[in-house]
Structure formats: structure tokens, C-alpha cells
A and B are shown apart, each in its own frame.
Chain A
């Protein structure tokens, strides 16, 4: 063994570029014509990863954190050989298994038993290895007597449990996990975390990506923070998480959104330039101030009534709250610039990451819509004791008589 015997993964100078065409023309005709017009390509470059250097030691459980679009998933895809990097070199010592999504390759017509073999071999096990672990997998999944039923008859919970059970029984030296903990009910999640801890405890290397900072903190010992395709911090997981929350979730946040050219919605007669938020330190968040600054670009708009709204969305992009100026007596008209400050009380958001979208219009003519830029995160849970986990999104006080 060489001197690098302690290193599970070494990444040097890794970059991954995607070409995003204005309109992706992958047809034969498109390619033929772009070959004829050599060099004149309308593709735009997008670097999902840029000059990544990272060393992961054997036995490390490393959490990769960062905002959406920071390059986390791309990094995992490159590491698990699903896609090839544009530059750089990676050395991996050991067998890798990746769980980028559980249940890949499951066929609805096949029985649970058949799918265990199918999924297991897709994940890189031999049939013999699957057979040896079969009872354990069935046991872990809790599927029991339904094992010989086609999985199309399973409930979605059963389906996911079986899929995860197969994945959890892989025995690679290096395990790559992306967001799989967000499955199943509470009890099953606990089981999964337990299984992951076992894996980590056996001295295997785990790379874990999740938005659930709690799970990351719980599971990992090291962390790497990604921002716009670059690693901006590596180190102890607690430090990484605090760097992350500092960088993105300070109490007062100002988002400059003056570059409206990439926002598809609205005619841009008036555009949103800046969104600032100020949240209370309480957890769950109970009050929020959102200030929206806008600039009017089209002169004819001046004097028209401002219709402004903000939306609070959860991770799945469900709208939890909609605050619309038309719902209250708001008589402001468009000037050269406008400022609207929403004062919101009793939000009671609980653990999770939420994005705040802002919408500007007048008389049902849409001017501008900013989405997915502003986000707030609530990461500790103080509502209940440790035994009970609050699973709601919004907390309300109540009494029991």
C-alpha cells in the first residue's frame, strides 16, 4: 500500500461544466448544422463544480452542505461515476455504492422478493450476496408476508421501506448518500439513522448530502461547505454548519435581485431590486419583516396601483403563506422607486428551510416575480422535548380541556 493508505477519496482540481443551450437542440439536424457552423455555438457554459480539491480520510463521515444549486448533487454524481468530470482527477480507494435515490430499477410488476434481487444487483451486489442478506433485508423493511406481492400493490411507504432496506445492506467501503433520510415514517427514519451510524461505526467512509442540518450534525464528523460550485470551507461538522448558517442565514439578510434578465415571469415594467428580511431570533420563527424595493422601468406605469405579494414556500415548494397587498387596504401607487415592508406576526414556522418569493403586479398585469432566491432556515426544535418530534410545518399554541 502506498503512503496514501489512509485516504479514501482524493479529489484534485475537479470541475464539471454543463452546456446549457438557449434551446437545447439535441436533434440530428441541430448537431449537423452546428458542426457546419463550427465554433459558432449558442450554448452557454455553466460550471456546476469549479476547482474542487478535497481529501476524505478512511472512516470519515462527511456531510456536504450548501444551498440548492451549489453543486452538491453534481459532486455526488461525479464521485459515483454517473457523470464524468470536465477537468481533474479523483482517486477512490475501495468499492463505492451510491444511494442517489432509493428504489432505482424497481419494477412495479415484480414481487418484493424479485425486486430485492433486481435492485441489489443494480446497486452492484452479486446475486449470492443478495441471497445471503435476503432475510435481513426483509426483516429490516418490515414488509413481512407481502414479500411475494407485486410492488405495484404496495403503499408508497412500504415501497420506500423495501427500497431503503436493500440499499442499507450494501457493504461497500465507501457509501454515498443523497437525501434518502427523507423517507418513511418517523420510526423508520430512526431505524435508518441507526443503520447509517452502524455503517459509520464500522469504520466505513460515508459521504452524506442533506438539507436536514439536524441529520447531518447527528451523523457526520466532518463537513464541507459548497457555494457556487466551490468548496469554501472544510473541517469539523459543527464548524461547517455554523459557517453555513452564518453565511446564509444571518438574522438580517439583504438579497440583491436587481439582475432581472434571468427571471422569466412578468413584463418587467417594474422590477424588484432588493429583498431584505429580518427575522426574530425565536425558534420557531414567530415574526418576520420583509422589505421589498422595486424600480419602475416603464414610465406609463407610474401612478398605477402597486399590487405586491410575498409567498412563503416549504422545501417541496408548497405555498404555506400568501401575503397579498390586495387583501388589505394598501393604496400605494408606482413611483420611480417603491418600498414595501411586510410586517408579519405569528408565523410559527418550525424546523425546515423556507423560501420567500415576491410578486409585483398592477391590475392583473404581471411585472416581476422573484422566486427561489430568498430563503430562511429554522434548524432547532424547541417546541417539544426530545422524545417527541414535531412533524407539522406550522406551530400553533392550543389548550386541552
Chain B
């Protein structure tokens, strides 16, 4: 028989993984609910998922490739699409999981379940958009006759890292937003700035060439910098990303682990704050 002990003098520092696993069906149901609500109800739901990235990609390539004349190893449109596909997934998951606890406050106030399920479940819906962007990307590769590099098999690893990065930031934000509503306003800001401080529309070499070493290292503290670069490298080949990417990966793991720990710390009193 299950035995539950609630002891005010002891607090969990680590998330209860066994319990999370026990609630895995809730994870799937919530993901599926979000999917249903996002796509199945609006008649042009899927179309939106295509229109948004396509317009952004076209604009970015117009500004960066055409006007500014940024040189890219593969055609600008293709180069930007690759970066955007990972970046949009990241920003979608981060935004939604960051807001997720507040958005589900009715549930949080009424029923107990591991709260971590809520932000985690947001990673799944974004995969649909990611899939669409990747289809667009493949279409462009065929159009420009760019064949995938020998490293293409490693692409999923970068997508996975992107997912962990998005969830890490999202989990931090979801826990912080409960306590400090101000963080709600920070998210759109992160998304906006991130688009420019991540090598999406320009190759990262511009950063390493123009900025001094220490500044470039700071640049790569942005977890998505290494991911976007690595993702493109695995698709198109070229020079491997090197230490800069490792900085990003360590950063991702750090954000994710601390995020989960912070979340676990504040989880038990969330119902009192939302």
C-alpha cells in the first residue's frame, strides 16, 4: 500500500522521480489537450504554424542577407530557416512552459499532482511546429540542391538539447512567475533579444571574428547559440562548432538542473501563491 508522509520539518530537495513516472499519463493527456486545443479547433490552426515562421524567415533573409549582405555558407534563406526552426521551437516551449503554472492555476489550487508535469508537458506540442519547420527546411534543401552532411544523424541530439534548454528556462520562469508576476513581462523580452543574440540570421564566425575572446565566451553563454550552430553544422557540415558549443551545452544542463531544483523547492507552496 502506498504510504504518504507529509512532514513540515523535512523538505524535498530533489524531485520525486518515481512519482513523476507514476503520473506519466497525466503528462501525455496534458500534452494531447494542448495539441487538440491548439490545432484541432481553429480552422486554420496548422496554417498559422506555417505562416508565422515563413514570414519571419523571409523578413530576416531580406534584412540580413539582401540588405546587409551577410555572407552565409549556404543560401541565406536556407541558412536562416535552419536556425529559425530550432529557435522557434525553443521560444515556443520556453514561453508556454514559463506561463504554464499560472495558466493552470485552477488545477494547482484544487488538486495535488507533481507540478513539474505542467511545464514539462509543454515540450510536446511545440514538436508539431518544429516538424513543420523541418519540412520547410527539407523543401528548401531540395530546391537549393544542398545535400545533408555526413553528420546529419546527430541532428536529433541538438533538437533534444534545444528541448532541454527550453524546458530549463521554462521551468525557471514558471516557478518564478508564481512568486513574482513581473517575470511574465520578461519572457517576450527574452524572445525578442534572443533572436538577435543567437546566430540565426548570421554565422557565429561574425561574433568570434569581431569580438574579443572574453566577449565571445559570454556570447556563447546563451545556451541557444551553441545549439543553433551545432544544428546547422550537423545539417550542412563545415567547421565543427568547437569549445563554444560546449560552453552552451554546460550552460543548458546547468540551467535545467538548477531550474528543476528551484521548482522543487517552491512547488509545495505554489497553491498558496497562484
- Name A residues whose Cβ lies closer than 8 Å to a Cβ of B: 14, 18, 26-29, 31, 77-78, 80-96, 98, 100-101, 104-105, 107, 109-110, 114, 117-118, 121-128, 173
Contacts and interface: CB of A to CB of B under 8 A. Distances in A.
Contacts of B28: 121, 127
Interface string B19-35: 00001011011100100
Contacts of B33: 107, 110, 114, 118
Contacts of B68: none
Nearest to A78: B6
A14 B106 CA distance: 25
Closest 10 A/B residue pairs (Cβ): A81-B112, A84-B268, A92-B4, A90-B6, A121-B29, A28-B180, A104-B110, A28-B182, A121-B26, A85-B8
A94 B2 contact: yes
Given A27-B181, A82-B111, A124-B113, A96 B4 contact: yes
A220 to B, nearest CB: 23
Nearest to A100: B110
Interface of B: 1-9, 23, 25-26, 28-30, 33, 36-37, 41, 104, 106-113, 179-183, 268-269, 271-273
Nearest to B109: A82
B26 A98 contact: no
B111 A114 contact: no
Contacts of A105: 104, 106-107, 111
A78 B41 CA distance: 37
B110 A82 contact: yes
A173 to B, nearest CB: 7
Nearest to A130: B25
B111 A87 contact: no
26 contacts: A14-B8, A26-B273, A31-B180, A82-B109, A82-B271, A83-B271, A84-B6, A88-B8, A89-B5, A89-B8, A89-B9, A92-B3, A92-B5, A92-B6, A100-B111, A101-B110, A105-B107, A107-B33, A107-B37, A121-B23, A121-B25, A121-B26, A121-B28, A122-B111, A124-B26, A127-B25
B6 A85 contact: yes
Contacts of B113: 122, 124
Contact of B36 (A87, A109, A123): A109
A118 B28 CA distance: 10
Contact of A109 (B9, B41, B183, B273): B41
Nearest to A173: B1
A26 B181 contact: yes
A104 B107 contact: yes
A173 B2 CA distance: 10
Given A85-B8, A89-B7, A107-B33, A94 B1 contact: yes
A269 to B, nearest CB: 38
Contacts of B271: 77, 82-83
B6 A114 contact: no
Contact of A83 (B23, B25, B41, B268): B268
Nearest to B28: A127
Contacts of A81: 4, 6, 112
Given A88-B8, A107-B33, 9 more contacts: A28-B182, A28-B183, A77-B271, A92-B6, A95-B2, A101-B110, A105-B106, A105-B111, A122-B26
Interface centre among B33, B113, B179, B182 (most CB of A within 10 A): B33
A84 B180 contact: no
A357 to B, nearest CB: 28
Nearest to B4: A92
Contact of B112 (A85, A86, A98): A98
